[in-house]
Amino acid sequence: MGWATLFIILGHTIFYGSSYVYYGPIIHQIIRYGCIGVDVFLFLSGFGLVYSIKKHPVTVFYRNRISRLMPSLIMLALFICAWYIVIGSPAVICNIYMWTSFWFLNFIILMYIVFPLLYKFFERSSGFTSLLSMTILSIACLIPYILNGNAVNCNADVCAICRIPIFCMGAIYAMGKCEFLDNVYFEVAIALIGILILTLFAIPTGDFPNEVFTCYYAFILMTPPLMFGLCKLSNFTHTLNKVLSDLGRYSLEIYVVQVTIMPKIIRYGAEHSISAWFIIPISILLVVGISYAIGTCSNILREKLKLHNDKTI
Q: State residue 293's pLDDT score.
A: 93
Q: State residue 11's pLDDT score.
A: 79
- Please state, in angstroms and as integers, the Cα–Cα distance from residue 75 to each residue in 6, 129, 295, following that order: 22, 41, 8
DSSP the chain: -HHHHHHHHHHHHHHHHGGG----HHHHHHHTTTTHHHHHHHHHHHHHHHHHHHHS-HHHHHHHHHHHHHHHHHHHHHHHHHHHHHTT-GGGGG-HHHHT--HHHHHHHHHHHHHHHHHHHHHHS-HHHHHHHHHHHHHHHHHHHHHHT-TTS--HHHHHHTTHHHHHHHHHHHTT--GGGG-HHHHHHHHHHHHHHHHHHTTTTT-TTSS-THHHHHHHHHHHHHHHHHHHHHTT-HHHHHHHHHHHHTHHHHHHHHHHHHHHHHHHHHHTT--HHHHHHHHHHHHHHHHHHHHHHHHHHHHHTT-------
Burial (CB count <10 Å: 0-12, 13-18, 19+), residue 185 = exposed
Which residue in 84, 108, 82 sits closest to 95, CA to CA?
84
Q: State residue 277's pLDDT score.
A: 83
- Please state, in angstroms and as integers, the Cα–Cα distance from residue 120 to each residue in 1, 58, 126, following that order: 26, 11, 12
Q: Is-contact 188 225, C-beta < 8 A?
A: yes
Q: State residue 210's pLDDT score.
A: 44
Which residue in 135, 193, 186 sits closest to 162, CA to CA?
135
Q: State residue 211's pLDDT score.
A: 47
From first to last of its 313 residues, what are the pLDDT tens digits of the chain? Answer: 677 787 788 878 877 776 677 777 667 766 776 777 788 888 888 888 998 899 889 999 999 888 888 898 899 989 999 988 888 887 777 776 666 678 888 899 999 999 999 999 999 988 888 988 998 888 888 777 767 765 555 567 777 888 888 899 889 888 887 766 666 666 666 666 666 665 565 544 444 444 445 566 666 666 666 666 655 555 555 555 666 666 777 888 888 999 889 988 988 888 888 888 888 889 999 999 999 999 999 988 888 877 665 555 5
Q: Is-contact 17 276, C-beta < 8 A?
A: yes
